[in-house]
């Protein structure tokens, strides 16, 4: 059974590496156009390998941060902590995080308005439908 | 790049919407029919390395991590490109990446 589990993990790893490699290729292409320079295939492959490995470090750190805060779900504060080493990176990530938070807030307010307007028009028997509207996915 | 095997999900919708502008006919690319979605990819990438099976990643944190990884890749590429340009070369090779790697890792 262990071998089957390992085989699955290997397959997943390969798929993820391929996904990373594809994205890295796309991003490098953008940099190529920006800077009017070319990337060798080996360098692109190297960047995707480095990125994949860096994910491991990120993942372990994030897990530790969450655990330190006695949580089992990693949230945006943990990601911000991850970006602490470079002040410009931290600033950028904090900015993105604030943007996300404010757009979440907007969405919530929209939902509230919709469901309260809908509730006003509905008969009590149909309240269950309104309740399911408020189910949040894994957002915050 | 468009003919690539359809397994890749990419990191983030932002990247895709930027590219969507350059694709004739624009709109959603074939990627939407892939088993791995953009956000899913990041989530699985991280979950692969968690030590505890119960650890999860919040939706917003996933988006932020995708952004983080984008920045990481761009930094690596840009720094290597700058290194190659300093050496008056037109192609970025592994040796340029090797030269910028230590500082890159220290900054991240």
Task: Read off the pLDDT of residues A44-97 as tens digits, 9 standing for 90 and up.
Answer: 999 999 999 999 999 999 999 999 999 999 999 999 999 999 999 999 999 999
Question: In terms of residue numbers, what domain contains B48?
Answer: 38-107
Band (B37; pLDDT cuts 50, 70, 90) = low
Q: Which residue has the tokens 């993105």?
A: A96
CATH for B71: 1.10.20.10
Q: Which ipTM was obtained for this model? A: 0.79
Q: Which of A128-132, B30-34, B37-41 has the lowest mean pLDDT?
A: B30-34
- Number of domains making up chain A: 2
Q: How many CA atoms lie within 13 A of A27 on its CB side?
A: 31
B55 at A interface, C-beta within 8 A: yes
pLDDT of residue B94: 95
CATH number for the domain including A62?
1.10.20.10
Contact B55 A74 (CB under 8 A): yes
Closest partner residue to A54 among B4, B58, B108, by Cβ? B108
Which of A22, A28, A140 comes nearest B77 by C-beta?
A28
Number of folded domains that form chain B? 1
The set of residues, in sequence order, having a beta carbon less than 8 Å from that of B1 and lying 6+ positions away, is A22, A25, A26, A29
Q: Is residue A95 part of a domain?
A: yes
Inter-chain touch A139–B59, beta carbons under 8 Å: yes
In a domain, residue A23? The reply is yes
Q: Is B50 contained in some domain?
A: yes
Does B22 touch chain A if contact means CB atoms closer than 8 Å? no
Tens of pLDDT, residue by residue over B22-31, are 333 333 333 3
How far is B25 from chain A, CA to nearest CA, in Å? 19
Question: What percent of chain B has pLDDT above 70?
Answer: 66
Dihedral-angle region of residue A70 (phi above 0 means left; psi in -120 to 50 means alpha; beta otherwise): left
Residues A56 and A30 in one domain: yes
Tell me the pLDDT band of B32, cut-offs 50, 70 and 90: very low
Give the domain range for residue A51: 13-73
Strands A73-74, B56-57: pairing is parallel
Inspect the interface and report whether the beta carbons of B73 and A39 lie closer than 8 Å.
Answer: no
The C-alpha atoms of residue A106 and residue A96 are separated, in whole angstroms, by 15
Does one domain contain both A67 and A17?
yes
Tell whether A119 is covered by a domain. no
Residues of B in contact with A101 (CB under 8 A): 60
Pairwise CB contact (< 8 Å): B69 & A51: yes
Number of Cβ within 10 Å of residue A113's Cβ equals 10
pLDDT band at B8 (very low <50, low <70, confident <90, very high): very low
What is the rounded average pLDDT for all residues in chain B?
75
Q: Which residue has the higher pLDDT, B91 or B2?
A: B91
> Which token pair is A134?
């408020």
Q: Per mean pLDDT, which range of A5-19, A109-123, B9-23, B56-70 is the poorest?
A: B9-23
Bridge partner list, B57: A74
Q: For residue A122, is it within any domain? A: no
Contact between B56 and A19 using a beta-carbon 8 Å cutoff: no
Contact with chain B for residue A53, Cβ under 8 A? no
Whether A84 and A58 map to the same domain: the answer is no
Cα B11 from Cα B52, distance rounded (Å): 24
> Crossing angle, helix A2-35 and helix B59-86, to 10 degrees?
50
Does the beta-carbon distance from A139 to B58 stay under 8 Å?
A: yes
User: Is A40 within 8 Å of B93 when comparing Cβ atoms?
Assistant: yes
């Amino acid at each position: 059974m262990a071998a089957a589990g390992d085989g699955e993990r290997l397959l997943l790893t390969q798929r993820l590496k391929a996904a990373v490699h594809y994205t890295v290729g796309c991003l490098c292409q953008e940099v190529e156009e920006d800077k009017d320079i070319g990337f060798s295939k080996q360098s692109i492959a190297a960047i995707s390998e480095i990125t994949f490995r860096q994910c491991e470090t990120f993942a372990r750190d994030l897990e530790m941060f969450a655990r330190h805060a006695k949580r089992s779900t990693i949230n945006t504060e943990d990601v911000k902590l991850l970006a602490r080493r470079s002040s410009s990176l931290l600033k950028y990530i904090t900015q993105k995080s604030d943007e996300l938070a404010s757009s979440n807030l907007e969405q919530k307010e929209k939902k509230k308005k919709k469901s309260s307007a809908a509730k006003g028009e509905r008969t009590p028997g149909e309240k269950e439908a309104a309740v399911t509207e408020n189910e949040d996915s894994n957002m915050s | 790049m468009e003919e690539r095997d359809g397994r890749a999900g990419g990191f983030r919708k932002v990247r895709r919407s930027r590219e969507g502008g350059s694709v004739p006919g624009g709109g959603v690319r074939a990627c939407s029919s892939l088993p791995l979605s953009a956000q899913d990819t990041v989530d699985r990438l991280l979950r692969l390395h968690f030590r505890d099976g119960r650890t999860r990643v919040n939706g917003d944190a996933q988006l932020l991590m995708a952004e983080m990884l984008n920045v990481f890749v761009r930094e690596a590429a840009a720094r290597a490109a700058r290194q190659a340009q300093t050496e008056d070369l037109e192609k970025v090779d592994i040796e340029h990446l090797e030269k910028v790697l230590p500082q890159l890792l220290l900054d991240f």
